[in-house]
């Protein structure tokens, strides 16, 4: 899908992906046995995940760089809200009728979305990184400059304009002189991994999702056993923490773009680094406190900080990768992220069991200690992203130079 996202009509490809996952939901609803259900879920997972490279590539071409973090924050918000609404609506329908009707409802919504995509969403021109080349008239807002000589407003050229004004030169050995579309997949992956900032962003993203996947898996067990809350309270607590995550995703994207508009070219990596560091520092007392009253605010704020790191990271990846490789770059990042998410539940559970056996606090204490240990790589994420402050401007300039060569 990453290759196709870089080479074919993306809106049609996205609509087909949505239609495929609608078919998978229908197949699951009619499943006569577990094997059939498992096969339909595998098809669904493949179709949903494959849509990621297409969405990222379209976002890069629709949205200028100066506004991408905010838009990606709203996209992440849509994912969280959609998951919550689907879970609640599906649960209500399953309780009232049957779990099969929950599948059919989501299939109908997916088919409606596929039709809407084909009818309403135009296919943008490729090469959206042209926004980075300072061609502000493509943004439609003219050459709006303030008294400080830097560009202002919502145009997309600010990143490259400020980097050029500071004399940042691209890395000549990584400027693409060949057609990116015709590069074999293995060479494309090697090129993407040679981008210093991209390597750091991939590691940080995978580590962040690793922690979140483990936290999500054991959250119910931890809350009920560590804080001794009832099942009835779980819904209210999940709503509070989920709302904090939504606010963090939106605020992280908007705050990043606001700093970027003021000429701070490394705003993406700085906000992401601050998000991971703040999340680790806030979740530490949240996991240690045994009363839900004082622990809930710091856990909610820590979750918000964790969510705030994702939109600037997603926007930064578009900045540092040539536009013709956006789909394949996202597929590489998604592959490594999914590996981290798949390993996380087993890693958290195993560590919790080991710590519970060695300690005296029992199962809940082992899980708490596992969460505390896993905060270390989350904190390291923030420090790791600080290393990208120096490589990010060079990689942005290199991606822009590669895009100019391809036009």
| Residues 19-23, mean pLDDT to the nearest whole number | 93
Which pLDDT value is given to residue 154?
35
DSSP annotation string for 234-265:
HHHHHHHHHHHHHHHHHHHHHHHHHHHHTT-T
| Residues 171-190, mean pLDDT to the nearest whole number | 86
CA distance 71 to 69: 6
Model confidence band, residue 272 (pLDDT cutoffs 50, 70, 90): very high
Query: Percent of the chain scored above 90 by pLDDT?
Result: 34
Taking Cα atoms as reference points, which of 4, 394, 353 lies closest to residue 160? Answer: 394
| Residues 222-241, mean pLDDT to the nearest whole number | 83
Q: Comparing 137 with 230, which gets the higher pLDDT?
A: 230
Q: Is the pLDDT assigned to residue 64 strictly greater than 60?
A: yes
Q: Is the pLDDT assigned to residue 136 strictly greater than 70?
A: no
Average pLDDT over the chain reads 83
Q: Is the pLDDT assigned to residue 139 strictly greater than 50?
A: no
Q: Is the pLDDT assigned to residue 115 strictly greater than 50?
A: yes
| Residues 197-208, mean pLDDT to the nearest whole number | 90
Model confidence band, residue 133 (pLDDT cutoffs 50, 70, 90): very low
Taking Cα atoms as reference points, which of 283, 257, 282 lies closest to residue 271? Answer: 257
Q: Which residue reads 């088919």 in tokens?
A: 111
Taking Cα atoms as reference points, which of 372, 369, 383, 79 lies closest to residue 245? Answer: 79
Residues 305, 248: contact at Cβ < 8 Å? yes
pLDDT in tens, 243-269: 999 999 999 999 988 888 777 778 889
Model confidence band, residue 290 (pLDDT cutoffs 50, 70, 90): confident
């Amino acid at each position: 899908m990453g290759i196709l996202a870089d080479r074919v009509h993306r809106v049609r490809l996205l609509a087909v992906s949505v239609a495929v996952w609608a078919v998978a939901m229908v197949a699951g609803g009619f499943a006569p046995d577990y094997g059939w259900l498992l096969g339909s879920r595998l098809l669904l997972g493949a179709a949903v995940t494959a849509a990621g490279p297409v969405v990222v590539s379209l976002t890069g071409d629709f949205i200028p760089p100066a506004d991408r973090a905010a838009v990606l924050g709203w996209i992440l918000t849509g994912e969280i809200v959609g998951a919550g609404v689907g879970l609640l609506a599906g649960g209500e329908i399953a309780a009232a009728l049957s779990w099969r009707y929950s599948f059919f409802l989501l299939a109908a919504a997916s088919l409606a979305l596929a039709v809407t995509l084909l009818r309403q969403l135009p296919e943008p021109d490729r090469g959206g990184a042209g926004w980075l080349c300072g061609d502000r008239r493509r943004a439609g807002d003219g050459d709006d400059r303030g008294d400080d000589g830097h560009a202002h407003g919502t145009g997309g050229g600010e990143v490259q304009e400020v980097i050029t004004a500071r004399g940042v030169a691209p890395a000549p050995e990584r400027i693409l002189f060949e057609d990116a579309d015709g590069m074999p997949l293995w060479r494309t992956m090697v090129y993407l991994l040679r981008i210093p900032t991209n390597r750091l962003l991939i590691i940080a993203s995978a580590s962040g999702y690793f922690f979140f996947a483990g936290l999500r898996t054991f959250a119910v067990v931890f809350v009920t056993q560590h804080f001794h809350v009832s099942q009835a309270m779980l819904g209210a607590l999940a709503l509070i923490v989920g709302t904090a995550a939504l606010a963090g995703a939106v605020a992280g994207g908007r705050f990043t773009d606001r700093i970027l508009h003021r000429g701070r070219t490394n705003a993406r990596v700085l906000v992401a680094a601050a998000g991971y560091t703040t999340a680790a520092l806030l979740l530490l007392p949240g996991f240690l406190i045994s009363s839900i009253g004082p622990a809930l605010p710091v856990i909610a704020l820590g979750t918000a900080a964790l969510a705030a790191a994702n939109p600037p990271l997603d926007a930064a990846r578009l900045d540092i990768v040539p536009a013709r490789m956006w789909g394949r770059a996202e597929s590489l990042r998604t592959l490594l992220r999914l590996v981290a998410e798949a390993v996380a539940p087993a890693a958290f559970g195993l560590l919790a069991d080991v710590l519970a056996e060695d300690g005296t606090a029992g199962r809940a204490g082992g899980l708490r200690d596992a969460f505390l240990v896993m905060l270390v790589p989350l904190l390291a994420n923030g420090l790791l992203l600080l290393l990208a402050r120096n490589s990010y401007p060079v990689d942005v300039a290199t991606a822009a130079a590669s895009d100019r060569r391809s036009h």
